[in-house]
Structure 1
């Protein structure tokens, strides 16, 4: 979705065989080891939070490479970070976490803002690390503390 929004064609996964291989191996492992994976709920949650941070920053960097404004880059990063979780939840026949009251996209937005606030002030690796860590930690803490978005009352 991100690549189509910024006009990158063909989309990245279609030109990178490694991406397809990782997807198929991951899917096969999930199917083969589904009973064992159920016992690793906490580990999988942590890895999901880490992936949320990493993919958000990858999306932001795609936007900066395309010379887009910081706000658009944060939006692209949030889309990139959240979309994998939406697909996962749909395949598991669950309501996507993104559509619940949990903080899922919000940590991506905050991490994206941190990315741009720190950008140019220190090394790129440190900026990326701080942004990814902030997204990951905020997602985990929000879940543990049961922080939620306000709901709209009728």
Structure 2
């Protein structure tokens, strides 16, 4: 049986996965995660002092055998259905931070979308909205 984490941590873990997929977490990605946790209504009531511990716990899980698979199962099993699209949106936000979508990020987004069972139409709308938000002049 897959372990459960709280919904706040599940949202954080999905962001950490995307930020870490290329082997390094940039300051911009870390800053974005922090700002999202501080400002989004989904994190209302979350103690932001727990953010570093949550990110470290996710990182430790990712380094275990089949770590990514387990993390994605935990995220999916821990998020209420109404937050699955939110989880995918946050994954897309992190992928957009560095203004380029590498193949490994695209593949991870596909795994997140499938794991959270976000339908293609919803996923396309989220992707388009994130693309518009991060477009540069």
Q: Is the shorter-chain TM-score for this pair beyond 0.5, marking a shared fold?
A: no
RCO higher in structure (CA 8 A, sep ≥6): 2
- TM-score between both structures, scaled by the size of structure 2: 0.34
User: If you compute each CA radius of gyration, which structure gives the higher value, 1 or 2?
Assistant: 1
